[in-house]
Chains A and B, each alone.
Chain A
Amino acid sequence: MSCSPFDLRDYLLGELSAEERRQVDVHARSCGGCHEELERLRITHSTLLALRDEEVPQRIGFVSDKVFEPSLARRAWEAFWGSPAKLGFASAAILSATLVIFTFFRQAPAVASVAAPDASKIEAQVSARVSAAVEKAVAQSEARQASKTAELLAAAEQRFARQRQADMLNVEQRLSVLQKRYNVRENMLARLEPPGEMK
């Protein structure tokens, strides 16, 4: 029977804490019986370890077999719940959708209660106002276009008249120059001809 503070077999089997092991070591140094018992246990343990592990004669492995794989839906479901980012995104999306739906269903009754009775009348009034505004805008636009066209025609006629006047003046000047040149030539020919040959 051992007088050690802790079971020497627990010491050997690694079930004691560091402090408990230290106490056993201290005791075994001063107790011959426990020292011998501990030595026998150590010899037993080390001898047992002479029986070594064998290598596996054939590797164990699986191939990708659809039979063992979970379904696509299950994989997607597990991947979804296994991802905090996706969960966060989904939460934000659900919150946004809830806000949109809440806003939509909250406003709809208020609009319906006010607008529903006079809807046709308001629609007719709006249509009349729109038609009047369109007609007025078209008339104004046509008037602006007519005025602008008249101005452009007048300006063009003025430019044409001025151009014609300038052309006539230019022609007259050229005719005058030609006439002068002709007269000069005639005078020179008259001077060069002998007096007896004069007709």
Chain B
Amino acid sequence: MIFRAVEDTDLIRKARRGDVEAYNLLISRWEKRVYNYLLRIVADREDALDLSQDVFLKAYQNLRKLDDPARFAPWLFRIAHNEAFSSFRRRRPEGETVPQSDFAGERIPAKVSPAFPIELSIAVTTALDKLNADQREAVILKIYQGFKFEEMAEILSCPVSTVKSRLYTALDVLKTQLAPAKSRGVT
């Protein structure tokens, strides 16, 4: 359990009154999560950083519109989700849809953790590439960010049943890709 002397809700109230330092502290708590969420969606570190800055700027400008400070996390990720999709729309000519395969661009080479071999990271990246954009985002929000179904529905602006459907389908695909791979000794 992580003990925080000042809760996020207190920082949000201070930031609403114009306390920039309180908001900077709030950013320091959330920037890594937001950055990695965007990085896994846009697959570009520079874009992910730029988008992260835009997300926190928009969040600050709209902080008064946040009805319940306890719902800060899904509200912040909703902004991040919108920023990511706006970014994709800006890159393409008007009227042209974004192909699912291009949603995440070219996959970035994963930074290898000393605890895991490179083959495992490549296997995970390859498996995630098998998913469409919605399924991948559902996996990112659930597995890597730990949101509940209701929070995911709020972020993605869709019913919980849709969230579950995307996630279950994604898990079936990933299981086929990753579980046999590990049993065959890829690791």
Contact = CB atoms under 8 A, between A and B. Distances in A.
Nearest to A61: B24
Contacts of B103: none
B61 A68 contact: yes
A50 B32 CA distance: 17
Nearest to A62: B20
Nearest to B25: A61
Interface in B140-187: 142-144, 146, 148-149, 167-168, 171, 174-175, 178-179, 181-183
Determine the main DSSP class of B at the interface with A.
helix
A47 B117 CA distance: 11
Given A9-B168, A15-B148, A78 B17 contact: yes
B31 A82 contact: no
Given A50-B116, A60-B52, A70 B27 contact: no
A45 B144 CA distance: 10
Given A48-B139, A48-B174, A60 B120 contact: no
B178 A43 contact: yes
Nearest to B177: A44
A63 B24 CA distance: 9
Interface residues of A, number: 36
Interface stretch (B77-85, B90-98, B121-129): B121-129
B130 interface: no
Nearest to A8: B171
Interface string B40-75: 000001000100110011001100000000000000
16 contacts: A9-B171, A13-B167, A14-B146, A15-B149, A41-B179, A43-B182, A47-B120, A48-B124, A51-B121, A59-B28, A60-B27, A60-B49, A62-B57, A68-B18, A70-B18, A79-B17
Interface of B: 13, 16-18, 20-21, 23-24, 27-28, 31-33, 35-36, 39, 45, 49, 52-53, 56-57, 60-61, 110-111, 113, 115-116, 120-121, 123-125, 127-128, 139, 142-144, 146, 148-149, 167-168, 171, 174-175, 178-179, 181-183
Interface of A: 9, 12-15, 40-41, 43-45, 47-65, 68-70, 75, 78-79, 82
